[in-house]
Amino acid sequence: MNDLISLNREELRELFAGFSEPPFRADQLFQWIHRKNTWDFSAMTNLPLALRERLGAAYLVSTVRIERTLAAPDGTRKHAFRLADGEAVEAVFLPERKYFSLCVSSQAGCPLACVFCATGARGFRRHLSAAEILGQIYLLLKNAPPVDRLGNILFMGMGEPLLNPSELRRAISLLTDPQGLALSPRKIVVSTSGIIPELKALAAESRIRFAISLNAPNPELRKKLMPGVETKYPLPGLLQVLRDFPHNYPGRLMIEYVLIRGENDSGKCAAELEKSLRGIRARVNLIPHNPFPGSGLSSPENSRVLRFQEILKSQGRIVFIREPRGAEIQAACGQLAGTKKAESGEQGAKGEEPGAEG
């Protein structure tokens, strides 16, 4: 069956023209899917019964389904999704005081093999379609507070979003459509390890925000920790792109830095990082590494995290330490989707510290 969640209004109108239905019917369907988050054609009461039956016989809204959900005491919910071909991905619901955010995946696995990342350790399976990206978001919204309390959608789950640019663009375009969720682009945050051509292109054409997963202050260390991306897009070029970032960029860039004990958590690394970031309008998020079996890496001591922060702050940098969310229910990103339960189709699920290391 064909799913309809990733068709834009123009494409739905073309489909409906083939049914001899007027264009406004396509807009009605679009609003049911994207504004009212309704997946059941029979509930779309302003569509004629015959059309609803026709759609129900040959189409569905989305094939994505939640396989497991794990909830932490702080309200964080981590989900494992099963895709139509059996692949598993993760997404996380993150409650804040007033708002909530969603962290979603853009690929099943990831080809970039960052050494601190459980998703990278699984290898690359495939890109997600826009339908699969939206399926995660809309399923989570079904059990979330009203959408006016949606803070951010974070492309920080499994995968490198900018290696899947066309499906990412389509998902963003549908999320921001004024007849759908009508999400402000500023509420969309794409985390990238630094796929330079796509980062430049997307920054030039949209008003979404970016988080840059940097994790090392120099090319040598970055090549050790992030061999996939550093080999192709070396750090000096990435830093120059960040210095030249469009002047109309909303606010500051976010630099993500996973702190790994004995690897990149020294005072020397902090000072070198600040030097590398000179001229870049960015705040820094420090993320203590969340170890996973087989990585051979461990979390930094708390005192070193604080010292790292102090060194950056002493140079006037805004620096946050990201507290682990939902650590009680799951470990590192990419780990839950790779569990036996998720792979075997049992009821259960996965999720990751949103964007922590993705």
Please state the three-class secondary structure of 94-157 as a single string: EECCCCEEEECCCEEECCCCCCCCHHHHHCEEEECCHHHHHHHHHHHHHCCCCHHHEEEEEECC
Establish if 119 lies at the interface with ligand SF4 (CB under 6 A).
yes
- Choose between 21 and 263: whose C-beta lies nearer to ligand SF4: 263
Question: Which residues make Cβ contacts (< 8 Å) with residue 285, sequence separation at least 6?
Answer: 211, 254, 255, 256, 257, 319, 320, 321, 322
Alpha carbons 123 and 110: distance in angstroms, whole number: 6
Taking CB under 6 A as the criterion, the residue among 67, 90, 132, 160 binding ligand SF4 is 160
**CB 173 within 8 Å of CB 181:** no
From the list 90, 167, 230, 263, the catalytic residue is 90
- Choose between 21 and 230: whose C-beta lies nearer to ligand SF4: 230
Taking CB under 6 A as the criterion, the residue among 3, 21, 274, 357 binding ligand SF4 is 357
Taking CB under 6 A as the criterion, the residue among 88, 89, 117, 255 binding ligand SF4 is 117
Alpha carbons 232 and 132: distance in angstroms, whole number: 28
Establish if 110 lies at the interface with ligand SF4 (CB under 6 A).
yes
Please name which of 353, 311, 316 lies closest in space to residue 331, comparing C-alpha atoms. Answer: 353
Taking CB under 6 A as the criterion, the residue among 114, 202, 238, 259 binding ligand SF4 is 114
Q: Which stretch binds ligand SF4 (CB under 6 A): 46-54, 106-114, 248-256, 344-352?
A: 106-114
CB of 239 to ligand SF4, least distance (A): 17
CB of 291 to ligand SF4, least distance (A): 14
Give the binding site for ligand SF4 (CB under 6 A): 110, 112-114, 117, 119-120, 158-160, 193, 213, 357-358
- Point out the residues that are catalytic: 90, 333
